[in-house]
Structures are given as structure tokens and as C-alpha cells.
């Protein structure tokens, strides 16, 4: 099996175990173009073409693995090829075909995920994976408007434990509530990523993360949610956590050559 798809299966299991993927919640899309040999790329389609609903010129010649519609992460973890699709973007960049052994239709969020991948390729990014999931504590924070203000959550989460800034140096971008799967949400997410964030918080919904592979995207969300857990645990003990000081954060950024 393709290495990146094996990694997707592993991450899908983690998402279920953490309670971040209830029922068929969440989505994963990974650019696997570089892992496919010529024979695989030339396979005839078993279904399609299907309209993406957008024209995405930078995806010409690309292949993706995408979670199937209505499929559960816990099932994908055990049987990734029965719960996900390998798709080929058609030459018109507006349609895709399914080329795997079974017809598994991607989710309705595929156009928004592909829009992000189109943007990533256009800017020369090495990122190949996009992850949408529902981390409980991070979502809980967004039910208070103070956390939705730019970089308020980032500063607090960074201050909870040194590893947060070390492993999530770009922090957490915030997008106000929009209809799940909508073009508007995709556009707002791309705009936030363009503002130099790798992890984007969707108010009262979940997160969208991008990175070089799906495990790295998961790791960023996992670290940020751990910081949220520490914050909430401190509040449960009856006190507002002090957090690391600005001086301590600056010292760590300098020591590890992190963005300020």
C-alpha cells in the first residue's frame, strides 16, 4: 500500500481514539502524485468524470487520496481502500475520475480541500496533506468570542507549555462560523493560511490543518489541543493559569530559531 495512505489510516485511528471523529465527522485529503508509478497513473478510470464545481489549474496531473462520503474514521483506519478514494484530476482541471479498485465517492468537502491544495501548489508550498477534524477542547474555546479575536488563542496556547510554540510556531488562525463545506468557508480558510497559519480554527466546528504529510498535520492539532486541555484543567482547579511570560516565550523563540 502507498506509504501516505498507510499514514492516513494510522491518523484516522488516532482521531477516533481521541473522540475527534464522531460518526463520519472529519475529512482527509492527501496529494499522492509523487508516490504513484507510471502504471498506476495510467490506469483507466472506474468512475467519472465528476465535476469539482471549480476550475483548479494547478492540480492538472495530480492524484489524491480522499476520505469517502459517509465513511467513518474508525473504519478508514482498518480498511483505507474501502473507505477512501484515489482520484485523478482531469486535464480540464474541473473534473476528477476515480482510479482505485472500488468506487468510493469523496465527501462533499472535496472541492474545498482541493481548493486549498491548488493554492498550496500555486505558492510553491511543500505541503501535501489537509486534515479537518473536531478537537473537543479547541472547539470549546470558540464558543466564547474573546477567543476568536486574532492571535488571542495563539498567545495563550503558546504560553501553556513550551512545546506548543516549538511544534506549532505559526499558531492558530481563526475563521468565524460559516456553512460547513461552503465555498465561502474554503475561501476564508485559504485567506487565513495565506496569513501564515498552518492550522485554522473554524468557529464552533473544528480545525483545518495543512502540512507536509498527514501525520505532521495531526501533530500540530494534537499539540494545540493539549495546550487547550492544560488551560481548561487549570481553570477547573479554580485559577487562571499564569502561562509563560512574554520574556520566556521570546527566549525560547531565540533559542530554537522560531518565528517571533
Active-site positions read 109
Look at strands 199-202 and 206-211 and give their pairing: antiparallel
- Helix axis angle for 3-17 and 214-236, nearest 10°, is 20
Largest CA distance in the chain: 62
**How far, in Å, CA of 21 to CA of 27, rounded?**
9
Q: Which residues partner with 89 through β-bridges?
A: 96
Per-residue buried b or exposed e for 97-123, using 16+ beta carbons within 10 Å of the residue's own CB: bbbbeeebbbbebbbbbbbbbbbbbee
**77-80 contacts: CB < 8 A, separation 24 or more?**
77/9, 77/10, 77/12, 77/13, 77/16, 78/9, 80/1, 80/5, 80/6, 80/8, 80/9, 80/12
**How far, in Å, CA of 152 to CA of 171, rounded?**
10
Rg (CA), the chain: 19
Amino acid at each position: 500500500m502507498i506509504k501516505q495512505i498507510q499514514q492516513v489510516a494510522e491518523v484516522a485511528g488516532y482521531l477516533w481514539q481521541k473522540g475527534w471523529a464522531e460518526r463520519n465527522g472529519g475529512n482527509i485529503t492527501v496529494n499522492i502524485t509523487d508516490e504513484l508509478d507510471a502504471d498506476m497513473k495510467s490506469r483507466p478510470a472506474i468512475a467519472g468524470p465528476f465535476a469539482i464545481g471549480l476550475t483548479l489549474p494547478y492540480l492538472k496531473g495530480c492524484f489524491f487520496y480522499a476520505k469517502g462520503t459517509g465513511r467513518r474514521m474508525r473504519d478508514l483506519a482498518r480498511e483505507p481502500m474501502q473507505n477512501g478514494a484515489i482520484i485523478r484530476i482531469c486535464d480540464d482541471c474541473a473534473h476528477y475520475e476515480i482510479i482505485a479498485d472500488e468506487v468510493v465517492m469523496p465527501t462533499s468537502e472535496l472541492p474545498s480541500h482541493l481548493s486549498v491544495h491548488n493554492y498550496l501548489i500555486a505558492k510553491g508550498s511543500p505541503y501535501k496533506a489537509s486534515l479537518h477534524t473536531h478537537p473537543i477542547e479547541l472547539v470549546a474555546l470558540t464558543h466564547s468570542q474573546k477567543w476568536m479575536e486574532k492571535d488571542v488563542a495563539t498567545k495563550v496556547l503558546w504560553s501553556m507549555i513550551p512545546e506548543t510554540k516549538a511544534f506549532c510556531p505559526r499558531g492558530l488562525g481563526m475563521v468565524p462560523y460559516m456553512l460547513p463545506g461552503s465555498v465561502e468557508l474554503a475561501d476564508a480558510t485559504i485567506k487565513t493560511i495565506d496569513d501564515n497559519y498552518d492550522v485554522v480554527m473554524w468557529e464552533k466546528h473544528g480545525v483545518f490543518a495543512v502540512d507536509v504529510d498527514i501525520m505532521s498535520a495531526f501533530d500540530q492539532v494534537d499539540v494545540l489541543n493539549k495546550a487547550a486541555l492544560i488551560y481548561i484543567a487549570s481553570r477547573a482547579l479554580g485559577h487562571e493559569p499564569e502561562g509563560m511570560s512574554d520574556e520566556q516565550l521570546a527566549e525560547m523563540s531565540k533559542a530554537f530559531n522560531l518565528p517571533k
